């Protein structure tokens, strides 16, 4: 525990990098935007009525 109290001087490393987090969130969002319409389309089985006269 003696080494835990020493400061190495790298204060910038202790901050959380937001850029990689935003990159991952955008990639996951794009994946969901592409896959959800493909997955939902077979579930939408619609029986549309036919017109008796045009």
pLDDT tier for residue 31 given thresholds of 50, 70 and 90: very high
pLDDT reading at 47 higher than 80: yes
Domain boundaries, the chain: 16-41
Across the range 36-41, mean pLDDT stands at 83
**Using CA atoms, how far apart are residues 38 and 44, in angstroms rounded to an integer?**
11
Whether this model's pTM surpasses 0.75: no
pLDDT tier for residue 7 given thresholds of 50, 70 and 90: low
Check residue 48 and give its pLDDT.
81
């Amino acid at each position: 525990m003696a080494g835990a109290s020493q400061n190495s001087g790298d204060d910038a490393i202790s901050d959380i990098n937001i850029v990689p987090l935003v990159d991952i969130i955008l990639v996951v969002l794009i994946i969901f935007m592409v896959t959800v319409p493909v997955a939902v389309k077979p579930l939408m089985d619609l029986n549309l009525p036919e017109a008796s006269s045009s």
